[in-house]
Every structure is written in C-alpha cells, then in structure tokens.
Amino acid sequence: MKEQILLIGGSGHCHAVIDVIELENKYDIAGIIDKKELVGKEVLGYKIIGSDDNLEEFFKKYKNAVITIGQVKSSDIRVKLFNKLKNIGYSLPTIISPLAYVSKYASIEEGSIVMHQALINSNAKVGKNCIINTKALIEHDSIIEDNCHISTASVINGGVTVKEGIFFGSNATSKESIEIGGFVKAGSIVK
C-alpha cells in the first residue's frame, strides 16, 4: 500500500503537481488543503478537505505533505508553509516526474519538485522547497538555493548559483559561472 500525501494549495500549480504525483506512482493523494471557503470542492477529482488551520489535526493521520502553491513575485508564502509543515512534523518528500532526467550525481533536497521533461545534470544541487518546472535545464555544477522557482523551458548554464528565493522566468537563459540574486523575467538573457 502506498503512503498518502497532502497537497497544500489547490490552484494552477496544484494541477501540474497532481499529474506528476500520479505518474510517479509513489504516493496516494489524501486530499488538498486550501482556503476554508473552498472545503468540499474538488481539484481534478481530489477533494479539498481542510485549511491551514487543520494541518495539526491532519498530521495525526497523514505524515507527508507537498506544497502545491506556485511562486512568481515572492517565495514568502511557500517559505511560511514549509516552516509550518516542518514544525508540525510533516515529511516533505522530493517529487520527481518519471519524465524528468536527474543525474545520479545531482542532489535535490526535501520539499522540491521536478516537473515533466526537466533536466538536472551532474553535480547540480537543488535546495529545499524548490520548483524545477517543465522543461527547465539545470546544467552541471549549478547550485539552486532553497525556495527558488526555475520556470518552464528556462536554462541555468554550468556553474551558476541561483540565490535563495529567486524566481527565474520562463525561457530565460543564464550565462555560465555567474551568481543570480534577483528576479529574472521571462525571456531574459542573464549575463
């Protein structure tokens, strides 16, 4: 029998995460945590079963959770939820799409998700609570610090460090061996 997992947040990013979790086939989705007024509604056939106020109560039954809220302007909400879940005692597993490629020489920390067709090459390090989105490329020897969102079809070239909490936009590309410390808008070339 598979372990169960709670999804924290029921919006658009949640839809994509559900698809990855179903395909990965390691966990059964127990339900979704969202705003109180949404309890009872469904997201892709899964019920919204409670709000943040119920997380301690649900921990008696469910030990795993994944944050399914996206990140654009700021990582603050994801960071707050990550810390709250850890303080309660939840395990925040790494979720990796079977359609992604992650080198055996790469490392990905807890609470991070690697979406379909993402590539993480050798000696790359992805911190906690990150989103490596669909078709993102993380090249060799790069470091993605905690709480980052590397967006769809973006390219982090070799030896790059993306500092904590950064949003790196869709189709943006970095030069190799640089440090990225600020918001990167879609389509940018970062030198």
Note whether 57 and 130 are same-domain residues: no
pLDDT of res. 73: 84
CB 61 within 8 A of CB 89: no
Note whether 139 and 173 are same-domain residues: yes
pLDDT of res. 174: 98
Residue ranges of the chain with per-residue pLDDT less than 50: none
CB 44 within 8 A of CB 59: no
* Ramachandran area for residue 10 (φ above 0: left; ψ -120 to 50: alpha; else beta): alpha
Last residue of a domain, one of 36, 65, 93: 93
- For 55-97, the pLDDT digits (tens) are 999 999 999 999 999 998 899 999 999 999 999 999 999 999 9
pLDDT of res. 36: 96
Note whether 172 and 113 are same-domain residues: yes
Note whether 88 and 156 are same-domain residues: no
Q: What is the CA radius of gyration of the chain?
A: 16
Note whether 127 and 179 are same-domain residues: yes
55: its two tokens: 């997380």
Note whether 50 and 130 are same-domain residues: no
Q: Which domain holds residue 116?
A: 95-184
Identify whether 191 is part of a domain.
no
pLDDT of res. 1: 84
Our count of domains for the chain comes to 2
Note whether 50 and 107 are same-domain residues: no
Hey, is 89 helix, strand or coil? coil
